[in-house]
Amino acid sequence: MSELCQNDQQVSDGANLLISMLVRYPEIGTINFDPEANSLALTFMISGIPTAKEFEVAKQLIINSIAAYQLLEGVTNGRIDVDLSSYEQVAMLTIRRDVHTMSRGEIGLTIKLLRDRFADRLVADRNDAMLEEDLLFQEEVIEDMLENMRRKDHDDHSLIGIREDGRVFVFNK
């Protein structure tokens, strides 16, 4: 019985992490949690398709900035992959990171870089009703859930979080 409760808690931590990240950062379109790789894939939507050069510059900026951030934080062996795919006139920029070295500050840095790089082209589901207190609370939850995810061995619960029409959904994959 305790294993079931422990597994439920793991799903709950993962689901809470995805929900809090989607609520706090309206620029994130989807998040996938892969328990086998213990990684998160954050997907951002960009209106219009960036040129190959524009994508490569953005990719290197993200990778180098996260590496510098990790160096300053004393984090080693962080994994990061940045991919671009497209559908019609929307590009999907996906950043894959391992949960063990990811931090709330790094997520905020990544969002800031994407806002600066893609400005009005970065698709965001703005929620003007969110108060500063709510945003700070979500940041605390993100930090707590990342810490919980670092400490646990994970089951086979792949999760996906999506944003649709101002709502956030999390599903087992």
Looking at the chain, the whole-number percentage of residues with pLDDT higher than 90 is 53
Q: Determine contact, residues 69/105, Cβ cutoff 8 Å.
A: yes
Tokens of 80: 């990061």
Q: What tens digit of pLDDT does each residue of 52-95 get?
A: 999 999 999 999 999 999 999 998 888 899 999 999 999 999 99
pTM of the model: 0.86
The pLDDT score that the predictor gives to residue 3 is 34
End-to-end CA, the chain: 24
Q: Residue 164 forms beta bridges with which residues?
A: 167
Q: Which of 39, 17, 40 is nearest to 141 (CA)?
A: 17
Instruction: Kindly report the number of other CB atoms within 10 A of residue 64's CB atom.
Output: 11
Backbone angles phi, psi at 24, to 5 degrees: -70, -40
What pLDDT band is residue 8 in, cutting at 50, 70 and 90? very low
**Closest alpha carbon to 122 in 60, 53, 3, 29:** 29
